[in-house]
Structure 1
Amino acid sequence: MKNILIVLSFVIGLAANAQEKKNKNAKYNVEVNGNCDQCKKRIEKAAFSVPGVKSAAWNVESHQLSVILNEEKASIADVEKAVAKIGHDTETQKASDEVYEKLHSCCKYDRK
Structure 2
Amino acid sequence: MRQIILYVLILILGATLVRKKLIPSFIKKRLGILQTISLFILLGTMGYKIGINETIIKNFKNIGFQASIFAISTCVFSVLITFILFKISKIFLKKSNIEKRG
* TM-score of the two chains, using structure 1 as the length reference: 0.24
Bigger helix share: 2
Higher relative contact order (CA 8 A, sep 6+): 1
TM-score, normalised to structure 2, is 0.27
More strand by share: 1
Max radius of gyration: which structure? 2
